[in-house]
Amino acid sequence: MKKEPNILHLFVDQQRFDTIRALGNSVIKTPNLDRLCQEGVAFTNAYSPSPVCVSARCSMIMGQYPMNTGCLENTAMPTDGRQTFMDALTQAGYRTHGIGKCHFTPNSHALRGFQSRERQEENGARSLEGEDYLQYLKDKGYDHLCEPMGVRGEMYYIPQPSQLAPEDHPTQWIGDRSIAFIEKESNKEEPWYLYSSFIHPHPPFAPPNPWHKLYRAPLMPLPKVPADVESLQTYINRFQNRYKYRDQGLDNNLLRCMKAYYYACISFVDYQIGRILDCLEANNELDNTLILFTTDHGEHLGDYNCFGKRSMHDSCARIPFIVRQPGKFEGGIQCDTPVSLVDIAPTFLEAADAQIETHTLDGVDLSKLLTGEIERELVFGQLAPGKGDYAAVSTYMAVSREWKYFYSAPDDKEYLFDKIHDPEETRNRAGLPFSEKPLKDIRQKLMDYLSETGMTAGLEEGKWKQFPRLDVSSDPDSGLLIQDGYTPWVDTHIPKYSE
C-alpha cells in the first residue's frame, strides 16, 4: 500500500449547506453524499471565506483568508509566486490532475500547480484551443449549440432542461473523466490528487432528461421569508436581485420550479459521485483515499426574497463539507466546530507530508480540530463586490458555534444571528440590548483580525469607517447581467433577421 493516501477532491459550485438528505433535508435525494456522511465526518458549521466563485477558490488553494490573498471578488488571484497546495502536492511526489471548473484568474488556462488539467468552464470560449469539453461536444456533433451550460443572460434564473443528452451533459463529463483518471492511476506506487470540479448546481439550473422530472415543482417547499424580511436584506442582496433579473416581482410557481431543477442538478452530481466511489472500490483504492466534498458558496434560492450568492447569510455563506478517510475521518460523526475552505490546504498537506513554503496558512488540519488537538473559536470572511474603494463596499464576517456577525459597509449596518436559538436566521439581534455583550465581543475579535492582517481600510479609530450608503438604481433596467458565453463555432447572426 502507498505510504501517503490518494486525495479525491470533489467540488461543486453554489450548493447550499442544507441540500443533503443525511443532514436533515427530507426532500432531496443524495444517496452517495449520504454514504460519505455515514462513513466519514460531516462538518456542519462550515463557511466560505468569501461567498463568490473566484475569491472562495483562491482562499481554498492558497489556504488563506481573502484578507491575506487580496482576492475579494471575481477578480485576479495573486500572481506573486505564492504556492498553491496543488503545487506542494506535486513537489511531494503526487500525480496531480484537475478536471472541470477551476475559475483561475487572471489566466484561466493556468495550471497553478497541477501537472495537468482537463478544462470545463461555464462561460464559453472564442477558440477550441485548450477547451477539452467544448472539443468533446464539437466532436459529438453539437454544432448548433450556443450555450452548453444553459442559457444565461435573461434566462439566468429560469429553470431549463439541458439541450444535451445525459451522457454528454457537463456533469456526466466530469464523472466520466474522473473515472478514466482513477482507472489509469490506480494501484501505481505514486499517490495521486484528483480535483473533480462540477459546475452545477450553479445557474442556469439545467439538468438533463429525465432528471428534470425527478422533483415536481408543486411538491417543493417555498423559500424562507421571515417577517420584516427587508430588514434582513443588505445592499449586496438588492444589487444581486437586480443583477439576476429577480427584482420585478415574485412567482411562487417559478420559485418552486427553481428549487426542483436546482435539486435535480445536485442529484445528478450525486449520481456521478456514486459512479466515482464505485470506481475506487472496483480498483481497491477506496480505503486508501482521502475524500473531501464541498463547494465554494451557497445560493439564496428565494430565501429572504433574494437570489444568487455574495451574501453572508447562511443560505450563501454556509457550505456542505464532508471528509472520509478510514482511521482519521470516519464513523458518521457530525462536528459543529467552525471550519472554512482555508482548512483544506493544511488538511491535504498534512495527509501528504507536504508543505507550502511561500506563506503562512490561515487554516488548520481538520483532523486536529476533530480530535481536539487544536481548538478554534471563529472563522472569518470578507467580500468586496464592484469597483472602486473595496472598503466602501465590503461585507465582513465572523462565525462561532453560537453566533454569526457580519457588517455591511455600504449599508453601515451590523447583523448578529443567534445560531442556537434562531438557526434559521430570522431575526437580527444586533440592536437588541440582551445581545450587547456577544455583539461587542465578536465585533472586536473580527476587527482585531482585520488589524492583524493589515486589512484596515474599513476601520477608523477602533470603529467601522463611515462610507456613503449605496443602493441600486430606481431604473428597473439598470444594472442587469449580460453574460452570453458562446461556443466558438457558433455564429449567432441570423440572415435577414439580425440586421
Asked if pLDDT for residue 348 goes beyond 60, the answer is: yes
Asked if pLDDT for residue 118 goes beyond 90, the answer is: yes
59-92 residues labelled b (16+ CB within 10 A) or e (exposed): bbbbbbbbbbbbbbbbbebbeeebbbbbbbbbeb
Asked if pLDDT for residue 26 goes beyond 80, the answer is: yes
- Residue 123's pLDDT band, with cuts at 50, 70 and 90, is confident
Question: How confident is the model over 297-310, as pLDDT tens digits?
Answer: 999 999 999 999 99
Grid cell, residue 147, equals 450555450
d(CA 378, CA 198): 29
Question: 255 phi and psi, to 5 degrees?
Answer: -60, -40
Does domain 6-377 fall into CATH 3.40.720.10?
Answer: yes
- Rounded to an integer, the average pLDDT of 274-296 is 97
> Residue 491's pLDDT is what?
87
Indicate the domain borders of the chain.
Answer: 6-377
Sequence-ordered list of residues with C-beta below 8 angstroms from that of 324, at least 6 positions apart, any chain: 36, 39, 40, 41, 290, 291, 292, 330
d(CA 412, CA 395): 10
d(CA 304, CA 314): 11
Question: How confident is the model over 189-227, as pLDDT tens digits?
Answer: 999 999 999 999 999 999 999 999 999 999 999 999 999
DSSP annotation of 303 = G
d(CA 117, CA 57): 16
Partners of 413 in the β-ladder: 408
**Counting beta carbons within 10 angstroms of the beta carbon of residue 340, is it exposed (0 to 12), middle (13 to 18) or buried (19 or more)?**
buried
Q: What is the CA radius of gyration of the chain?
A: 22
CA distances from 251 to 88, 248, 302, 307, 433 (A): 49, 10, 10, 13, 38
- Rounded to an integer, the average pLDDT of 348-355 is 97
Contact 57, 110 (CB under 8 A): no
Note the Cα 59 to chain centre separation in Å: 11
Asked if pLDDT for residue 1 goes beyond 60, the answer is: no
d(CA 382, CA 450): 10
Question: 383 phi and psi, to 5 degrees?
Answer: -140, 140
Question: How confident is the model over 436-491, as pLDDT tens digits?
Answer: 999 999 999 999 999 999 999 999 999 999 999 999 999 999 999 888 889 999 88
User: CA angle, 225 as apex, 223 and 228 as ends, to 5°?
Assistant: 170
DSSP annotation of 78 = P
- Rounded to an integer, the average pLDDT of 90-103 is 97
> Residue 424's pLDDT is what?
97
Strand order in the sheet with 6-12: 116-119, 95-100, 192-197, 6-12, 289-295, 321-324, 41-43, 333-335
Contact 344, 292 (CB under 8 A): yes
- Beta strands, E only, 403-447: 403-408, 413-418
Kindly state the percentage of the chain with pLDDT values over 90: 95
> Residue 72's pLDDT is what?
94
Contact 269, 171 (CB under 8 A): yes
User: CA angle, 171 as apex, 167 and 177 as ends, to 5°?
Assistant: 75
The pTM (predicted TM-score) of the whole model is 0.97
DSSP annotation of 223 = P
Q: At what angle do helices 132-139 and 170-185 cross, to 10 degrees?
A: 110
